[in-house]
Structure 1
Amino acid sequence: MATTQRRKPSNPRGRANVIVAGRGVSGGNRKRRPGKRPRNRRYPLSPARWWKRAGLAQRVAAVLVTVVAAACVVALVVGTVRVVQWRRDVQEAEARQLQLTQQYDFNPGDIISDGQFFNANAMSEAEVQSFLDKQGAACSGSRCLKTMTFDTEDQAANEYCAAYEGARKETAAAIIDKSARACGISQKVLLTVMQKEQHLVTAVDPTGFQYKAAMGLSCPDDANCDPAYAGFFRQVYGAAHRYQYYVAHESAYGYHANALNYIQYHPNAGCGGTNVYIENKATALLYIYTPYQPNDASLAAGFGEGDSCSSYGNRNFALIYTNWFGAARR
């Protein structure tokens, strides 16, 4: 018996397609009316409508985002203004420093170069001794620096200096040279500081205090010396060590290399001061050690006295070093 094959309806659901006038084919293949929006498509809300529909948490988050964005813009503007003003201040300071250099051969921002300050091979022990003999030629007593000897103490190596091996009856020249090499400071710098603090190198009849406070280390003008640093050896080695300590802890002090620093003319703040752009670490260390710059009266006086607002420490360092060893800013 022959089987009859059923023909599948063209409509999967078995419904006939009906042509409706003006509407096309009804049923599963209905065409979308032109211009009509799909019901499931979402369009962005306007800010006002979003705000009305948003919950409390959404509103708070939106406000916070707006506030943070506004703060960032303000910070950017303020930062830009500060950078521009800082650059102007630097230019003014550099112009003043150039004028002082041309007029007095003294640059408050570059008193001595790093290369000279940290040159521990600037002199040998024999050269230091010869220098002391020459500068102390007028001294003939038993307490002359060129002939004095001192018992020194071992100093352990640390992050600032290499070890120092103490000895009995070391000469001043040996102490200066060994301290310089242990701590990486120029012998010329130590000699200059010694002279500007106590005039000990050229003293014709040195006093006990001049040896006790040879480098002015922890010996303020208005108080007694710290006993831990009293005495020639402790002063010389201690000063060399202190300079390297300053290098490692410069951020803890008020004078910084490659930055603007307000530096007074005198301990009396009423005497004023100026911004100084310190150009290197060595100059920053000098200000940490002696925190004043010379005013015009001090510079104009050379080695003499200026006025009641003059200070002399860093001026004298520059003058002594230049007179003894040549230009300090090479």
Structure 2
Amino acid sequence: MKPGNLRRQWRKAGFRQRAAIVAKIVPAVVAAVALIVGLTCFVSWRVEIGMARMAQNQLQSQYDFNPGNIIDDGLFFNGNAMSEQQVQAILDQQGARCSGAKCLKTMTFDTQSQPANEYCQAYDGGGKETAAAIIYKAGKACGISQKVLLTVLQKEQNLLTATDPSDFQFKSAMGLNCPDDADCSPQYAGFFRQMYGAAKRYQYYAHHEDQYGYHAGRLNYVRYNPNSSCGGSNVYIENKATALLYIYTPYQPNEAALAAGSGEGDA
């Protein structure tokens, strides 16, 4: 309806007719406002994503680390990434300085058989399995790269390079159900339970990502430290594997930590 015609109808209309005119116009106005608000939010969202990805690309260029794409899905979910012998070679190399009785490269552990389920294939346990065998078999059973498990093992307890590891380091090897300020859950305590449990947990997260606070294809606020006063930043998570890593450990390194490399940053 043209504005001029609408004004004439309004002047001539009685109360009921005016009410009918309003009833026709209001939904159209509401729809138009909703469309404008929606478009504004969409544009703002795209701008925020663009800014986050630009910052991530700068980190990738400068430090070879992209907080939104830590590892490709294909690499993460590769249970055949390494053989048992290759895992052992890494343990020998990284643990070359360890010569005591508790070196990861020579330690053995009793393991328990695990039935197949929706997340992992069966794990055949036994007595005195080497750490390399456990890492290899857990990764293969649950379809998680042995490289990922080794990386998390070092990140959580420095067990690859530890020269005199403590019992607690083995007990909480992967940090699974072992809060920073508390003891481990008995159900997950011990090297085997930690390793197999972590591999299985990643698959659980993959099947139930929607229940957690980090999602691929979205902006996610990721903190730098358990202490919220240390801040954080928006991260556009590009794939499922990266989302799972944040669900498991919900922190990212800040630029000072990245610049420090293997040293210590300020977070």
Q: After superposition, give the CA deviation of every residue in 1:218-255 in whole Å (9 maximum; x if it has no partner).
A: 11111111111100010000000111111111112111
Per the TM alignment, residue 80 of structure 1 is displaced from its structure 2 partner at its CA by 0.7
Partner amino acid for 1:113? D
How big is the shift at 1:176?
Answer: 0.7
Distance 2:129 2:95 in 1: 18
Q: CA RMSD in A?
A: 2.1
1:262-305 superposed Cα distances (whole Å, 9 cap, x missing partner) = 11222222222221111111111111111112222111111112
Instruction: Choose which of 267, 275, 298 in structure 1 pairs with 2:257.
Output: 298
Pick aligned residue for 2:245 from 286, 289, 296: 286
Bigger Rg, which one: 1
1:77 aligns with 2:77: no
- Show the counterpart of 1:223: 182
CA offsets 1:167-203 (integer angstroms, 9 cap, x no match)? 1221111111111011110001101110111111122
The change in CA–CA distance for 1:148 and 1:69 in structure 2 (over 3 A counts) is same
Are 2:197 and 1:245 equivalent residues in the alignment?
no
Query: Residues 221 and 73 from structure 1, CA distance in 2 versus in 1: closer, same or farther, beyond 3 angstroms?
Result: same
Give the count of matched residue pairs.
259
Distance 1:65-1:298 versus aligned 2 partners, 3 A rule: same
- Structure 1 residue 209 displacement after superposition: 0.5
Cα distance in 1, alignment partners of residues 92 and 16 from structure 2? 94
Match of 1:95 in 2: 54
From 127, 131, 142, the equivalent of 2:101 is: 142
Name which of 65, 78, 86 aligns with 1:106. 65
Q: Give the match for residue 4 of structure 1.
A: none
Unaligned runs of 5+ in 2: 1-8
1:242-281 aligned at under 5 Å gives the runs 242-281=201-240
Aligned to 1:199: 158
User: In the TM superposition, what is the alpha-carbon distance from 1:49 to its structure 2 partner?
Assistant: 7.1
Q: Name the CA distance, whole Å, in 1 between partners of 2:66 and 2:121.
A: 32
Cα distance in 2 for residues equivalent to 1:130 and 1:232: 19
Equivalent of residue 195 in structure 2, options 232, 236, 239: 236
**CA distance in structure 2 between the aligned counterparts of 1:48 and 1:165, rounded to whole angstroms:** 86
Partners in 1 of 2:143 and 2:102 — Cα distance?
29
Matches within 5 A, 1:17-96: 66-96=25-55
Aligned equivalent of 2:4: none
Residue 176, structure 1, aligned to residue 132, structure 2: no
5+ residue gaps, structure 1, are 1-45, 311-330
- For the residues of structure 2 that align with 1:53 and 1:176, how far apart are their CA atoms? 78
Q: How far, CA to CA, are the matches of 1:227 and 1:161 in structure 2?
A: 21
Structure 1 position 72, deviation (Å): 2.2
Q: 95, 99, 113: which one pairs with 1:154? A: 113
Tell me whether 1:213 sits opposite 2:176 in the alignment.
no
- Paired-residue identity, %: 66
